[in-house]
């Protein structure tokens, strides 16, 4: 494979990734990487495409960051690899915590966040639905997305202290995840 051919294929993979066509971009990056594992850009592309299939925004941010620092830093690929490794470790620990929590919640009466939100949708009002069940029923959160949605709904519903307590109690569990930590901005806006 000629250098020009590799450059053209990397460019096509980059365009596909940027347009959100992660599976197609993965095929391009994967083919390039299989043919020449020493091409760091292909390796990073494979990792980021795989990540994008789960979380497009997160992967897109890393992708943009990689191309921003690539020209200026010799070790840009290492920097991104380290970030990806850290994210993977964090997600694995979160997944095991959620899994343990899910097994525990099967033994305890309660309602899943998804089921609770269905009731809210039917009734059309988070605040009153939450007030009706808050002392009698537990709401089980099984993902970061559910936690963030719940905290946001609590805040909007006027349960600021409770929302802040949830956020304080869970920020360490989520390894001080930027999205979770960003929820603190909700409370700063009120000051």
Q: For residue 98, name the pLDDT band (cuts at 50, 70, 90).
A: low
pTM of the model: 0.47
Q: For residue 51, name the pLDDT band (cuts at 50, 70, 90).
A: confident
Is there a contact between 48 and 63 (Cβ–Cβ < 8 Å)?
yes
> Burial letters for 95-104: b for 16+ Cβ neighbours within 10 Å, e otherwise?
eeebeeeeee
- Domain extents for the chain? 3-85, 109-190
- For the stretch 125-183, pLDDT in tens is 888 888 888 877 888 888 888 988 999 999 998 888 888 888 888 877 776 678 888 88
């Amino acid at each position: 494979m000629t250098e020009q051919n590799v450059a053209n294929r990397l460019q096509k993979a980059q365009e596909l990734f940027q347009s959100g066509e992660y599976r197609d971009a993965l095929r391009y990056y994967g083919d390039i990487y299989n043919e020449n594992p020493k091409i760091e850009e292909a390796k990073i592309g494979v990792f980021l495409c795989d990540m994008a299939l789960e979380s497009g925004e997160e992967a897109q941010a890393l992708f943009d960051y990689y191309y921003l620092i690539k020209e200026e830093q010799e070790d840009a690929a290492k920097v991104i690899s380290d970030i990806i490794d850290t994210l993977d470790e964090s997600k694995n620990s979160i997944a095991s915590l959620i899994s343990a929590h899910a097994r525990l919640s099967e033994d305890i009466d309660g309602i899943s966040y998804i089921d609770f939100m269905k009731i809210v949708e039917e009734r059309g009002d988070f605040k009153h639905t939450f007030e009706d069940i808050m002392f009698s029923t537990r709401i089980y959160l099984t993902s970061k997305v559910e936690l963030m949605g719940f905290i946001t709904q609590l805040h909007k519903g006027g349960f600021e202290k409770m929302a802040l307590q949830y956020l304080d109690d869970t920020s360490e569990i989520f390894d001080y995840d930027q999205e979770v930590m960003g929820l603190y901005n909700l409370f700063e806006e009120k000051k």
